[in-house]
């Protein structure tokens, strides 16, 4: 192939995308509770060792592009859209007005707002820093985000306490820091109750999001389970308003089975919101698009969520790779992430109604005939042949994932 001139590259990407096929219409995509974060689309590819690879983009453009794709919901950090110095000032109201206009014009809804408590230098010692002024400022920030959330019609507020931890040992006392952090969550809930009453709206669902590594060296609430314990610790004045926003990769990163994490959150009644993406175990937060690394695990995750009637948002918290251009972000990254999610979700429905999986599962639950419940040998042999169904079920799931049950075959 001869070199492809720069002015023909976008057309080629589009042609190959449509040759891939398998995409859903924007109308179909809008039927799912999928939210597009402002920060994901606006991510320019920067990191500690990475210069940006994409230009900046404003929220009006992101909202318009999401609308074109068929992403029906939008989420944002306060500072993704409002400069830190404008927070709580008249300029904030003007920006919120522009957001409302852009959402209305493009038929999107704001589902979630979140407070940035990790990036600005003021959070160097975390939002639960020793200095009372910083903690007061943290309370102002989360309360202000609650107000913005109500203005924009959001139903969820998320807290990723990224900088709640330390680099060097001994300077902070963990129990004290966690108490101070609880004060901020309590301030947000208290303000929410007031604003919701004023506006005649339901209170927001407050969702804590854990990440095991980075940006601190040691993290005080590194996993969703740690957060469940924090919510139930007695430090929160409104624990019933606070639940979880697990992120798939954040749990995988520490070596967990994300499906088991979600199961524990479901049992606790705390699975409020879900950040969807993909990546690898025991690596940094690579935030790859959903289903590109672990599609089989993702299928299983969605089987669990479908079977438990999870009806919260699926938030596309991934980072389009640095190799993807800004054109590619909206031409390839977002539409393909949405479509893989929808396919896996529908496939999960197929798994739940698959007669083979159903019969195998029922047979396992029926078990073999029990002659003596105290006889280990008899119980073992009564179930021996049935237990082969575990592997058969796993095979069937892979068949469904790869389309092999429909006779897909390769020439050999
Ligand atoms: C970073 C987190 C981040 C949060 C966001 C919402 O690793 O995933 O994107 O989801 O700040 O609070
Ligand atoms: Mg996240
Ligand atoms: Mg992440």
Spacing, Cα 90 to ligand 1 middle (Å): 27
295-354 tens-digit pLDDT: 999 999 999 999 999 999 999 999 999 999 999 999 999 999 999 999 999 999 999 999
- Cβ atoms 245, 208 nearer than 8 A: yes
What is the pLDDT, as a whole number, of residue 412? 63
> Does the CB atom of residue 209 touch ligand 1 within 6 A?
yes
> Does the CB atom of residue 285 touch ligand 1 within 6 A?
yes
What is the pLDDT, as a whole number, of residue 407? 81
- The whole-angstrom separation of Cα 392 and Cα 360 is 8
* Domain spans, the chain: 25-346, 355-406
Under DSSP, the state recorded for 267 is H
Residue nearest to atom 5 of ligand 1 (CA): 160
Rg of the chain over Cα atoms, rounded to whole angstroms, equals: 23
- Which residues place a Cβ less than 5 A from the ion ligand 3? 285, 287
What beta strand segments (E) does 174-326 contain? 205-208, 218-219, 242-244, 274-275, 314-315
- Residue 165, token pair as written in the block: 């931890």
Spacing, Cα 251 to ligand 3 middle (Å): 9
DSSP 235-254: --S-GGGEEE--BHHHHHHT
Spacing, Cα 297 to ligand 1 middle (Å): 22
- Cβ atoms 72, 108 nearer than 8 A: yes
Q: Under CATH, what is the fold of the domain 25-346?
A: TIM Barrel (3.20.20)
Residues 6+ apart with CB under 8 A from 48: none
Residues 6+ apart with CB under 8 A from 349: 306
Residue nearest to atom 12 of ligand 1 (CA): 160
Residue nearest to atom 9 of ligand 1 (CA): 317
User: Which numbered ligand comes closest to the C-alpha of 39?
Assistant: 1
> Does the CB atom of residue 158 touch ligand 1 within 6 A?
yes
- The whole-angstrom separation of Cα 31 and Cα 53 is 33
> Does the CB atom of residue 317 touch ligand 1 within 6 A?
yes
What beta strand segments (E) does 300-384 contain? 314-315
What is the pLDDT, as a whole number, of residue 373? 96
Give me the active site residues, please. Answer: 77, 80
Query: 3-state SS string over 162-179?
Result: CCCEECCCCCCCHHHHHH
61-78 tens-digit pLDDT: 999 999 999 999 999 999
Q: Spell out the alpha helix ranges (H) of 113-245.
A: 132-152, 174-199, 224-231
Task: Point out the ligand 1 atom lying closest to the alpha carbon of residue 245.
Answer: 10
Task: Point out the ligand 1 atom lying closest to the alpha carbon of residue 275.
Answer: 10
- The 3-state DSSP class for residue 63 equals helix
CB atoms inside a 10 Å sphere around CB 196: 16
**Among candidate residues 244, 184, 247, the one with its CA nearest the CA of residue 213:** 247
Task: Point out the ligand 1 atom lying closest to the alpha carbon of residue 115.
Answer: 12
**Among candidate residues 277, 299, 297, 279, the one with its CA nearest the CA of residue 289:** 277
Ranges of the chain whose pLDDT falls below 70 = 411-412
User: Which numbered ligand comes closest to the C-alpha of 208?
Assistant: 1
> Does the CB atom of residue 114 touch ligand 1 within 6 A?
yes
């Amino acid at each position: 192939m001869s070199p492809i001139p720069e002015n023909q590259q976008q057309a080629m990407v589009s042609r190959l995308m449509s040759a891939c096929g398998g995409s859903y219409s924007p109308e179909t995509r809008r039927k799912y509770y999928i939210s597009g974060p402002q920060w994901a689309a606006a991510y320019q590819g920067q990191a500690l060792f990475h210069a940006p690879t994409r230009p900046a983009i404003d929220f009006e453009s992101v909202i318009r592009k999401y609308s074109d794709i068929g992403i029906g919901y939008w989420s944002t950090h306060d500072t993704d859209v409002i400069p830190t110095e404008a927070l709580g000032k008249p300029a904030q109201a003007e920006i919120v007005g522009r957001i409302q206009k852009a959402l209305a014009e493009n038929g999107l809804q704001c589902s979630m707002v979140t407070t940035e408590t990790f990036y600005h230098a003021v959070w160097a010692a975390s939002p639960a820093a020793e200095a009372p002024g910083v903690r007061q400022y943290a309370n102002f920030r989360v309360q202000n985000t609650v107000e913005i959330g109500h203005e924009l019609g959001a139903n969820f507020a998320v807290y990723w306490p990224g900088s709640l931890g330390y680099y060097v040992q001994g300077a902070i006392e963990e129990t004290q820091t966690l108490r101070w952090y609880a004060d901020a969550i309590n301030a947000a809930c208290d303000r929410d109750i007031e604003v919701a009453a004023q506006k005649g709206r339901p209170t927001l669902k407050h969702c804590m999001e854990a990440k095991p590594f980075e940006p601190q060296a040691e993290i005080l609430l590194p996993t969703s389970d740690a957060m469940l314990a924090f919510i139930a610790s007695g430090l929160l004045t409104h624990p019933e308003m606070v639940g979880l926003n697990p992120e798939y990769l954040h749990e995988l990163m520490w070596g967990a089975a994300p499906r088991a994490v979600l199961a524990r959150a479901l049992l606790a009644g705390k699975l409020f919101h879900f950040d969807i993406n993909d990546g690898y175990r025991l690596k940094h937060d690579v935030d790859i698009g959903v289903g590109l690394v672990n599609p089989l695990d993702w299928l299983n995750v969605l089987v669990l969520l479908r079977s438990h009637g999870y009806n919260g948002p699926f938030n596309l918290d991934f980072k389009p790779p640095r190799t993807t251009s800004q054109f590619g972000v909206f031409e390839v990254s977002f539409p393909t992430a949405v479509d893989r999610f929808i396919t896996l979700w529908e496939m999960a429905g197929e798994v739940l109604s698959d007669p083979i999986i159903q019969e195998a599962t029922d047979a396992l639950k029926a078990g073999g005939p029990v002659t003596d419940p105290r006889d280990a040998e008899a119980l073992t042999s009564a179930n021996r042949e049935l237990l082969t169904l575990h592997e058969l079920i796993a095979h069937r799931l892979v068949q469904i994932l790869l389309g092999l049950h429909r006779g897909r075959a390769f020439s050999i």
